[in-house]
Structures are given as C-alpha cells and as structure tokens.
Amino acid sequence: MQQLRGKVAIVTGASSGIGYAAAKLFAGEGARIVVTARRKPELDALVAELAADGGEAIAVAGDVTDESHARALVETAVGRYGGLDVAFNNAGTLGELKAVQELALSDWNATLSTNLTSAFLAAKHQIPAMLANNGGSIIFTSTFVGYTAGMPGTGAYAASKAGIIGLTQVLAAELGPKGIRVNAILPGGTDTPMARIMIRSTDDLNFVKGLHALKRLASPDEIARSALYLASDASSFTTGAAMLVDGGVSINRT
C-alpha cells in the first residue's frame, strides 16, 4: 500500500541529495509533488524521471529565500493538484566554513537566510493551505551540528539549523490543535554533494565515518525514508520532534 496515495507534497532542494531522493520516494508512494531548487535543468530531468516511473510532479525553479517563490510553490500545489498535505522544507547550505571571528556579516546573513529564513517563509505560506485542507505535515531538515555537537567552522550553519528546531517546536504547539504536525529531521553524515564540500580526501571520509556508531555515512535515500515516515499517517502522533537520523554520531565515543 502506498503511504502517500492521494496526498500533495512540496519538496525543496530537490535537484540533488536528500531532496532528490525524497522526491523519488514520495512519488513512488503515491504523492503528487511540486519540486523546487535553483537549477531548472536538473528539476526538469527529475520530473521526467518521475513521469517515466508513473509518478506525477511539476517543477518550479527558484530561490527559497524569496517570499514570492514560497508563495508560488503553494499556489502551484493548490492550483495544479487541489491542495497541500505535506511540505518537506529541505533546501539548505553549509555557507562559509570559517571561525566566527573571521566570518563576514554578509556570509552570516546569507547562511541564515537560506537555512532559517527560508523555513519561516515556507511555513508562512504552507500553513494556510494546510488549514484549508484540515491538516497536514510540515518537515524541516536540521542537523545534529549545533544540537548534539559543535564542529569548528560551522557557526552560521549550526546557528541557522538550531534555529529550525526552535521554529519547529513553536509551530507544533501553535498548529497541533488545528491538525498540522511539524517536525524536523536531524541527519548525520550523508553522502551528498553538500557533504563532499567538507569531505575532500579518503582520510577525511574515513574520519567522518568513524565519528558514527555505524561507522559509515547514510545514503540520501535512508534520510528520505525518515522524512517519509513524518510525511505519512504512520507518524500521526508525532509532532514537535527533533528526530535524530544520525547513525549514532550524537552518542558515539568509540
């Protein structure tokens, strides 16, 4: 049985990595999807791939820091598919990896805008559509960085992603009585293009793998499956959660 049959979803950051894997997974589970990222050719290729597999999706390229784009995604979901049930707000950036005293204000602001302000804008426009639909599930991608671990050079990234957890908790409290669940997933090391910015050699890769209790990185599909759980009715009593999907990196000391 398809876990998202009849549901309409938005997936951001869908051109690669976790967002790409989630779009494929959600479509395979029966959702009709609006996918977004900045790179239109990659989105168009994804939509064609989903269609070839029997899925239904539409691409709306744009910048998640632009409020008009956040509005357009919801309008597309409602106008094309009749409503909005699920939003996986996954788009993000590492930003500049520097010690805080070396970080320019413009770089700090850019990272917070992409990771945290975009989450606010997304929710702001998704909530009314879900209220009109008598409920829904909003999912954000946060991280263990800044939650269970401090990693040098990630000040803006950690602050922005930790902020998502605070936003998640407030939204869950505000929207729970109205049937909207709000949760965040906190991935560990995942084999994505963004992760490869930090992992530049075999030694780096082995070091990062060793930080995890499972002694490996996640595949994007493994993280996407946790998002699927939160998107589906299987998680009907789960809201306000900062859900670690981190291969044990938060508890490992071996």
d(CA 124, CA 154): 27
Instruction: Please write down the long-range contacts of 145-148, taking CB distance under 8 Å and 24 or more positions apart.
Output: 147/186, 147/242, 147/250, 148/244, 148/246, 148/249, 148/250
Catalytic residue among 20, 81, 147, 157: 157
HEC string for the chain: CCCCCCCEEEEECCCCHHHHHHHHHHHHCCCEEEEECCCHHHHHHHHHHHHHCCCEEEECCCCCCCHHHHHHHHHHHHHHHCCCCEEEECCCCCCCCECHHHCCHHHHHHHHHHHHHHHHHHHHHHHHHHHHCCCEEEEEECCCECCCECCCCEHHHHHHHHHHHHHHHHHHHHHHHHCEEEEEEEECCECCCCHHHHCCCHHHHHHHHHHCCCCCCECHHHHHHHHHHHHCHHHCCCCCCEEEECCCCCCCCC
Q: Known catalytic residue: 20?
A: no
Residues forming the active site = 157
